Chains A and B, each alone.
Chain A
Amino acid sequence: MIDNIVAVAATAAAHLITGVRGRWQGCAPEPRPRIYFANHASHGDFILIRTALPPALRQGTRPVAAADYWLTSAARRYIAVNAFNAVLIDRNAITRTVDPVEPMTRALDEGASLILFPEGTRNTGGQRLLPFKRGIYYLAQRRPDVELVPVWIDNLNRVMPKGEFVPVPLLCTVTFGAPLHLEEGEHKARFCERARAALLALAPEHEEETQPAKEAVP
């Protein structure tokens, strides 16, 4: 009950601050397991995607989140585990005991959709999109029937840049592209590059804040 209230409040706050609307460009919202993979610039990313989904699909859509970040304090754990039912994965390849693809596959089999950030971490640099981690390939390999939907989140990095604590209300868009599947015999790197290109293709063309300043005339 309270968990639900937290989730609904987060959705309402996301609406109020970003006025977000889902733009379904390459597919329509459908109630079946899907993997939404998106660019990752802020901790609010999964909340924004969830908010952009039709209300009926929100409950069954679970974010995939890093255990090393979301389990480090009681508040974070509450948000990730209780409020949003996140699929927590261990990012540390050396110490982990469970293959991170395992819990994701299980969630899909239980009928959930996933929100996945294949860059593996928040992108705070000048590049629009970091290279993808291979997890998305292994997941596509395990469940080849599940649609992978590229999702571009625009402007949220301006709402709450890294290191700031107060969000600035700005309009954000969440664009859902055309689903893709792993092709037969497709190589790991090739698939990741193709998925990354599909995601980048959704990004609107606009000036980046990171553009170098105009040079002063000597």
Chain B
Amino acid sequence: MMVSATWLWLIGGILAVLATASLIGYALARRQRGRPSATIANLNSRIKAWWVMVILIAIAFALGKVGVLVLFAFCSFAALREFITLTPTRRGDHIALATAFFIVLPLQYLLIGGNWYGLYSIFIPVYVFLGMPIIAALRGDTTEFISRIAEVQWGLMVSVFCVSHAPALLTLQIPGFEGRNAMLIVFLIIVVQASDVLQYVWGKLAGRHKIAPSLSPSKTIEGFVGGVASATALGAALWWITPFAWWQAGLMALVVNLMGFCGGLVMSAIKRDRGVKDWGQMIEGHGGMLDRLDSVIFAAPIFFHLTRFWWAV
């Protein structure tokens, strides 16, 4: 009874936010006569994509643990595909790459589904880290060996290992919170994504001083402070869906926001290095899967371990 009431409030709140955003977007698009602005067009396609993403996430959650695992496995797949596409690889990497996609990725999610914490938390950083160079070395191509291996390894870390820590929240055993673990994922997603959106909004409204102009010209100190502060407040206000007290939820949200911000910076640095603006064009208005996930990637493992350390048994 309690559980479903929480869900209803959550879903109602999300729908209200999206509907408001759609209305504002519609009003903005109508007000501009003659001179259509690219910013508003992008805003509206972003809002539309949010509807699709929220509906897909809702369907996955309605299907239960398997649905959530499949959803995040697919996100990992799309993210890894974008990462490897922008990474220079050679013919000799083929088997290693196929292994990454078709063995490492599913295995990581199966281990999480099987709740095998002792293995899924070290599988990629230890076993795959050592296994990948072995597979590649057997092919005998030594050109740029260390950077090729490092890139595939890092692609797996960010796209598979880190992302998989969001569904791994389902496996935590938190006394008094049984059957509601999915709320932790929802909390993580809402806080991280709200932080992104709010940083964007604050940046547009009040942005003056750029943080890292060479990395990301749209990131400003005002956007960062305003976005993180308001998303942290939102996280504290969402304490009722978590096992945390309101101030604990706020602190968690703060950590998640800071990690998310840094994730965005790091992934921007990689994009700059590769000379692209977006990782892909999978999600209309947002770019690729990695453009949407970059902040989740850095926040998820930290959020998982903090929750596990202090709340789980």
Are A and B subunits of one complex? yes
The one of A21, A158, A166, A209 that contacts B281, using a Cβ cutoff of 8 Å? A21
B81 near A166 with CB under 8 A, answer no
Most chain A CB neighbours (cut-off 10 Å) among B82, B91, B102: B91
The one of A21, A170, A209, A214 that contacts B84, using a Cβ cutoff of 8 Å? A170
State A81–B80 Cα separation when bound (angstroms): 35
State A158–B85 Cα separation when bound (angstroms): 9
Check if B90 is an interface residue, CB within 8 A of chain A: yes
State A30–B14 Cα separation when bound (angstroms): 41
B81 near A169 with CB under 8 A, answer yes
Check if A9 is an interface residue, CB within 8 A of chain B: no
State A170–B81 Cα separation when bound (angstroms): 5
State A115–B102 Cα separation when bound (angstroms): 31
B interface footprint on A153-190 (CB within 8 Å = 1, 0 otherwise)? 00100100100101111110000000000000000000
State A105–B177 Cα separation when bound (angstroms): 70
Given contacts A19-B78, A19-B280, A19-B282, contact A170 B85 (CB under 8 A): yes
Check if A110 is an interface residue, CB within 8 A of chain B: no
List 24 interface pairs A-B (beta carbons < 8 Å), by A numbering: A19-B78, A19-B282, A21-B281, A158-B89, A161-B91, A161-B94, A166-B94, A166-B102, A168-B84, A168-B94, A168-B97, A168-B101, A169-B77, A169-B80, A169-B84, A169-B101, A170-B84, A171-B81, A171-B85, A209-B88, A209-B89, A209-B91, A213-B143, A213-B144
Measured between C-beta atoms, what is the minimum distance from A20 to chain B in Å? 11
> Using Cβ atoms and an 8 Å threshold, which residues of chain A touch B78?
19
A168 near B82 with CB under 8 A, answer no
Residue of B nearest to A169 (CB): B81
Residue of B nearest to A158 (CB): B89
Most chain B CB neighbours (cut-off 10 Å) among A19, A207, A214: A19
Check if B38 is an interface residue, CB within 8 A of chain A: no
Given contacts A170-B84, A170-B85, A171-B82, contact A164 B94 (CB under 8 A): yes
A155 near B85 with CB under 8 A, answer yes
Interface size class of B (residues with CB under 8 A): 20 to 34
Interface size class of A (residues with CB under 8 A): 10 to 19
> Using Cβ atoms and an 8 Å threshold, which residues of chain A touch B143?
213-214
Check if B126 is an interface residue, CB within 8 A of chain A: no
B98 near A166 with CB under 8 A, answer yes
Q: Which of A183-218 contact B (CB under 8 A)?
A: 207, 209, 213-214
Would you list the 8 A-B pairs with minimal beta carbon distance, nearest first? A171-B85, A166-B98, A213-B143, A168-B97, A169-B81, A170-B85, A164-B94, A168-B98
State A166–B98 Cα separation when bound (angstroms): 7
Residue of B nearest to A168 (CB): B97
Measured between C-beta atoms, what is the minimum distance from B193 to chain A in Å? 22
Measured between C-beta atoms, what is the minimum distance from B63 to chain A in Å? 20
Given contacts A158-B89, A166-B94, A166-B95, 16 further A-B contacts (CB under 8 A): A19-B78, A19-B81, A161-B94, A164-B98, A166-B98, A168-B94, A168-B101, A170-B81, A171-B81, A171-B85, A207-B88, A209-B89, A209-B90, A213-B143, A213-B144, A214-B143
> Using Cβ atoms and an 8 Å threshold, which residues of chain A touch B102?
166
> Using Cβ atoms and an 8 Å threshold, which residues of chain B touch A161?
91, 94
Residue of B nearest to A212 (CB): B143
> Using Cβ atoms and an 8 Å threshold, which residues of chain A touch B82?
171
Residue of A nearest to B99 (CB): A166
> Using Cβ atoms and an 8 Å threshold, which residues of chain A touch B101?
168-169
